[in-house]
């Protein structure tokens, strides 16, 4: 049984608010780069970048980060941590303010791996994290700077994010296991 907790309108608003909060926190968009974590984080990252473009008339570089081993919000394999590698990043992150974008923040292991991947590319000025959903159950000392919606969840539940670019619609659903 799936229950929609964020509908299309609410998702649009969440991304809009996150965009404004990024401007507030960074005092503008200078030196910003946005990195989306595959798969859905990439589309969210592009939407945030297009909003920044609309508002500030500045093109913020957007890149992708690829998770190779597993999605920790879908299956939990305690034996291996995810590895994240840079893909489609044709700009330098050295000295930049990096905004990592992911759809769901869960254990924090993906984000830790993503941060390592970014550090391997160069030394950014800062790394911030924007997520559409924070569902709790962290296993590492990681928190998001920009949160679309906090959804306290049980570990048995599955949080499913759909984005219209690759799914049939924009929505966040909770599915009972």
**Residue ranges binding another protein (CB under 8 A):** 9-10, 12-14, 16-17, 19-21, 23-24, 27-28, 51, 54-56, 147, 150
Q: Which is nearer to another protein, 16 or 69 (CB)?
A: 16
Nearer CB in complex with another protein: 27/156: 27
Tell which residue, 161, 107, 102, 101, has the closest CA to residue 136. Answer: 107
Q: What is the CA radius of gyration of the chain?
A: 15
- The C-alpha atoms of residue 140 and residue 5 are separated, in whole angstroms, by 26
Contact between residue 154 and residue 137 where contact means Cβ atoms under 8 Å apart: no
The H or E element spanning position 42 is: helix 40-56
| Minimum distance of another protein from residue 86's CB (angstroms) | 28
Q: In the structure encoding, which two tokens stand for residue 150, read together?
A: 């906090």
Q: At its nearest, how many Å lie between another protein and the CB of residue 15?
A: 9
Rank residues 25 and 123 by Cβ distance to another protein and give the closer one: 25
In total, the chain counts a number of residues equal to 177
Min. distance of Cβ 77 from another protein in angstroms? 30
Smallest separation, CB 108 to another protein (Å) = 18
- Least distance (Å) from another protein to the CB of residue 146? 9
Closer to another protein by Cβ: residue 13 or 158: 13
Rank residues 54 and 90 by Cβ distance to another protein and give the closer one.
Answer: 54
- Kindly give, in sequence order, each residue whose CB lies less than 8 Å from that of residue 133, ignoring residues fewer than 6 positions away: 6, 103, 104, 105, 147, 148, 149, 150, 151, 159, 161, 172
């Amino acid at each position: 049984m799936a229950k929609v907790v964020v509908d299309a309108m609410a998702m649009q608003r969440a991304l809009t608010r996150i965009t404004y909060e990024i401007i507030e926190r960074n005092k503008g968009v200078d030196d910003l780069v946005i990195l989306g974590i595959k798969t859905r984080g990439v589309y969210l990252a592009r939407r945030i970048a297009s909003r920044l473009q609309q508002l500030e008339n500045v093109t913020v570089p957007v890149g992708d980060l690829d998770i190779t081993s597993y999605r920790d919000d879908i299956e939990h394999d305690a034996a291996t941590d995810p590895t994240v590698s840079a893909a489609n990043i044709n700009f330098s992150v050295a000295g930049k303010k990096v905004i990592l974008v992911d759809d769901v923040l869960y254990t924090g292991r993906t984000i830790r791996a993503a941060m390592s991947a970014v550090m391997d590319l160069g030394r950014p000025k800062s790394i911030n994290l924007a997520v559409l959903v924070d569902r709790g159950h962290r296993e590492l000392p990681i928190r998001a700077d920009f949160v679309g919606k906090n959804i306290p969840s049980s570990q048995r539940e599955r949080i499913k994010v759909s984005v219209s670019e690759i799914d049939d619609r924009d929505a966040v659903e909770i599915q009972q296991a």
